[in-house]
């Protein structure tokens, strides 16, 4: 395998890390919907925590994306 195709394959494999983040974001928002469904008054308070969790999980997807971009454009 020449180096160029190995790079492209590597970038494709690296981006698989986004799967975990997708599962995480799904579970965060499902927990948020459940919480608001049970206690609609807590919506404001739970929403800020949801956003914090969302941002933390989304960052992990971006770490994988950064590796893919590094493979594609930098090396």
Minimum CB–partner distance for residue 1 and another protein (Å): 24
Rounded Cα–Cα distance for residues 45 and 3 (Å): 51
**Is residue 73 close enough to count as binding another protein by CB under 8 A?**
yes
Residue 73 phi/psi, 5° resolution?
-110, -25
**Is residue 8 close enough to count as binding another protein by CB under 8 A?**
no
Query: Given candidates 2, 5, 37, 55, which one binds another protein under the rule CB under 8 A?
Result: 55
Q: Report in angstroms the alpha-carbon separations of 39 from 26, 44, 54, 73.
A: 20, 11, 20, 48
Binding mask 12-51 for another protein (x = CB under 8 A): ---------------------------------------x
């Amino acid at each position: 395998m020449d180096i160029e195709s190995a790079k492209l394959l590597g970038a494709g494999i690296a981006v698989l890390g986004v799967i975990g983040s997708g599962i995480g974001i799904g579970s965060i928002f499902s927990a948020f919907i459940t919480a608001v469904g049970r206690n609609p008054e807590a919506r404001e308070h739970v929403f800020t925590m949801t956003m914090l969790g969302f941002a933390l999980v989304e960052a992990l997807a971006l770490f994988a994306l950064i590796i893919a971009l590094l493979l594609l454009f930098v090396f």
